Amino acid sequence: MSRVLRVLEAGPGVTVQDLGRPGYLSVGLSRGGAVDRLAILEGAALLGQGPLATLEMAGYGGSFEAGEDMRIALAGAPMDARIDGEALQWNACYLLRAGTRLSIRGVRSGSYGYLGLGGGIETPEVLGARSAHLAAGLGRRVEEGDVLPVGTDPHLERHGLGLAVEDRFTGGPVRFVPGPQTEFFAEEEIARFCDTAFRRDPKASRMAVRLNPEGSGFASAAGLSVLSEVIVPGDIQITGDGAPYVLLAECQTTGGYPRIGSVLPSDLPKVAQAPVGAEVRFQFVRLEEALAIETRARAEHDRLAGKVAPRIRDPHEMRDLLGYQLIGGVTAGRDEES
């Protein structure tokens, strides 16, 4: 018995992530951390703990085995998850018993799923966080055979809970504000940008998501002679061929491409989670409006813990109950996972 999570199999994009390392911009290290920060907060709410280190799973999870009983929380992009073959709901927390096998397969929508653990993953901290920052050479991908230490969990009995989550896994409208380089773009070009439907390119990483416009790309008066300037997650860079890249958690800290504006922090998870081919549109909002939106989003984050509630109609937890019902001659239809 030991407080570890054994990795029996892992997809190609599994990393340990928390909320990253703020404070290192001046030395060229971007904050990093989960590309869907909201998922970290949701996982934390489900487990009734802080935003501890979690597994981020791009597109596909893996198979895991607990060294001793531990709680898990499933958040972010919904994936096909089972414990010893028994299907699990997403946006929920469960008890993973020692020796049982958790398997998490492909995403059903969205791009990044998150596996949180009661007590959090306790790999060593580097520069104040556990997040892998692959672009900076910090940490590495999680691989088959890894044994991840897990922290102690004071709330082992608290599971069987779920959280109702608004869909942010299918693209859609994304709000952005103007920035210091918006003036490089002609008004007609900005208007056309807001009228254009984009589709998420297969090329995406924790650094940025490329969006392909329907119709021609976008150009600025500044061309490619812009002085390198600070860039941050959310910035919309227009590259040489006119397609926008929305920068994510692991972006570089300076860049020379002109930026048409910045996506609101509370809409950034929607960009990161947009699956390949999903339609994304940009809506221009004024700074005052954006601040009101962010203020509401912050309040929502504070309310997450209060929205966690016992799950209903969950086959995994109903296993024993079903047994009794069958004995009584009553058949119960298994709910399809939605």
Minimum gap (Å) between residue 262 Cβ and other proteins: 4
Provide the minimum distance between the beta carbon of 127 and other proteins in the complex, in angstroms, as a whole number: 7
Identify the residue among 163, 207, 264, 308 touching other proteins (CB under 8 A). Answer: 264
Rule CB under 8 A: say whether 23 interacts with other proteins.
yes
Where are the alpha helices (H) located in 57-202, listed in sequence order? 187-195
Backbone angles phi, psi at 324, to 5 degrees: -60, -40
Residues 47-86 that bind other proteins (CB under 8 A): none
Residue choice 164, 227, 327, 330 for contact with other proteins (CB under 8 A): 227
> Number of residues in contact with other proteins, rule: CB under 8 A?
39
Q: Distance between CA 235 and CA 102 in Å, rounded?
A: 37
Identify whether the C-beta of residue 60 lies closer than 8 Å to the C-beta of residue 36: no
Q: Considering the rule CB under 8 A, would residue 260 count as an interface residue with other proteins?
A: no
Taking Cα atoms as reference points, which of 131, 148, 121, 132 lies closest to residue 44? 121
Q: What share of the chain is helix, strand, coil (3-state, %, to 5)?
A: 20, 35, 45
The region of 40-48, 82-90, 136-144, 206-214 touching other proteins under the rule CB under 8 A is: 136-144
Our finding on whether 235 is near other proteins (CB under 8 A) is yes
At its nearest, how many Å lie between other proteins and the CB of residue 16?
15
Told to check if 294 binds other proteins by CB under 8 A, we report yes
Told to check if 20 binds other proteins by CB under 8 A, we report no
Residues 168-207, mask of contacts with other proteins (x by CB under 8 A): ---------xxxx---------------------------
Taking the C-alpha atoms of residue 171 and residue 136, their distance in angstroms, rounded to an integer, is 28
User: Using the rule CB under 8 A, is 238 a contact of other proteins?
Assistant: no
Q: Which 8-state DSSP code applies to residue 180?
A: T
> Please, which residue, 212 or 239, has the CB nearer to other proteins?
239
Contacts of 331 (CB under 8 A, 6+ apart): 325
Q: Is 137 in the site for other proteins (CB under 8 A)?
A: yes
Pick the binder of other proteins from 135, 197, 243, 305 (CB under 8 A). Answer: 135
- Torsion angle, alpha carbons of 242, 243, 245, 246, to 10: 110
- Choose between 24 and 90: whose C-beta lies nearer to other proteins: 24
6 Cβ partners below 8 Å, 6+ apart? 64, 65, 66, 67, 146, 147, 148
Closest of 33, 50, 32 to residue 41, by C-alpha? 50
- Does position 304 bind other proteins by CB under 8 A? no
Query: Exposed, middle or buried: residue 302 (CB in 10 Å: 0-12, 13-18, 19+)?
Result: exposed
Q: Is 250 in the site for other proteins (CB under 8 A)?
A: no
For other proteins, the binding residue among 2, 152, 228, 325 (CB under 8 A) is 228
Are the C-beta atoms of residues 182 and 156 closer than 8 Å to each other?
no
Positions in the binding site for other proteins (CB under 8 A): 22-29, 126-127, 135-138, 177-180, 224, 227-230, 232, 234-235, 252-255, 262, 264-265, 287, 290-291, 294-295, 298
